[in-house]
Amino acid sequence: MSFPRLLLALLAAAAFAPAARPRGGRLRGGEVLGQPPSPPSSGGWVAWGLNPKAQSMDGTQALVAVPKSAGGGGYEVQTYSISGYKLDSPGSLPNYQTSDLAAEVGADGRVQVFGTLKLQNGTGAEVNQVWQVGPYSGGIGAHDTKPGSDSINAKGTLNLLTGATTAASGGGSILRKKNTHGILNAVSWGLLLPMGAIFARYLKTFKSADPAWFYLHVACQLIGYGVGVSGWATGIHLGNLSKGITYSLHRNIGITVFALGTLQIFALFLRPKKDHKYRLYWNIYHHSVGYTIIILGIVNIFKGMSILDVEQKWKTGYIIAIAILGAIAVILEVVTWGIVLKRRKEDSKTSNGTSNGGRLPLSL
């Protein structure tokens, strides 16, 4: 199966409508036409390709129009057989024979890629197509990977007989999952766990709050952990849906927080009694790991907000929530230490020693 003339109408103008959705290639007579979005800037690269196996970058055999190395504003066409999610050197396409490749920049700024593409015998009527754009500065730069951008879902199918095309769906669904992932983790690791720590550290100093503080602490931590597990699982699922797009630091911190949180849950079953000789060491472990989880959780929430590129109002809202919890903690720190020191002073006048109500805020 051979098409005598392959034409990709690729936008390469500096004037770019961000709301435009890529449409990929379509057939007209003996030609394949397409209109992906333009490069992020004038002089960027534009690409279109077929993938014999799936609608993904991995396995795509692509025609890539790049600015000529000699300059002058012209474009040349390179062919890439993509394995994984990084480009190697240009070379021939294993599944498709190409010839007469050329690229022109029209007066309207569009880059037109021409060539002959010969398909293998047995190629079905419907093929997977992938298109993409990105910056070019001495080499092909990475395309936009921000959630919700057109680049994330630049794929679909092309019917070689009818010319009909379909665009991949699910971009909005993935963005909703990412938002859900962020909300679950912000509520759990970023709010409920800090609240649980405040209950444990400060309320137990007040005699009237014993043992209610303990149940409040456990409830916040268990609910927070449960919600956090849901958020973590959603993140793992999103990673599986976004092959080739990896936020290593965000992922590694998330895995660490989940692992430490799970360790804290199991440690509850190993908590020694108050008079046990190892109780002090258990307290040190419990507090150290707990505060580490809270700090890493908050850091990772801001990291996630940066990845999602959320509106400033959401960042501001979370900062205000954390600031309120921090202010409450500072006030209670002063109040509880005042109560403890007062009780110590009173107890020093008696022979009964420190009473149960005079425990330090860090004791548990």
Same domain, 306 and 274: yes
Residue-by-residue pLDDT tens, the chain, 364 positions: 444 344 443 333 222 222 233 344 444 444 444 444 454 556 678 888 888 777 677 778 888 888 887 666 788 888 888 777 677 778 888 888 888 888 877 777 777 777 777 877 767 777 888 877 777 777 776 666 665 555 666 777 778 777 777 766 555 677 788 889 999 999 999 999 999 999 999 998 888 888 899 999 999 999 999 999 999 999 988 887 766 667 889 999 999 999 999 999 998 888 898 889 999 999 999 999 999 999 999 999 999 998 888 889 999 999 999 999 999 999 999 999 998 888 888 877 764 444 454 555 555 5
Residues 45 and 158 in one domain: yes
Is residue 296 in some structural domain? yes
Structural domain harbouring 303: 172-353
Distance CA 116, CA 102 (A): 10
Tokens of 277: 């000789």
- Backbone φ/ψ region at 232: left (φ over 0), alpha (ψ -120 to 50), beta: alpha
**CB burial string 30-43: b at 16+ within 10 A, e below:** ebbbbbbbbbbeee
- Among 169, 201, 222, the domain-final residue is 169
Please tell me whether residues 153 and 213 are part of one structural domain. no
Are 117 and 234 contained in the same domain? Answer: no
Strands 110-118 and 97-105: antiparallel
Same domain, residue pair 245 and 289:
yes
Sequence ranges of the binding site for heme b: 181, 217, 250, 286
11 and 142 share one domain? yes
Is the pTM higher than 0.75? The answer reads no
Binding residues: 181, 217, 250, 286
Asked whether residue 100 falls in the same domain as residue 126, the answer is yes
For the chain, what is the domain count? 2
Q: For residues 227 and 348, state if they share a domain.
A: yes
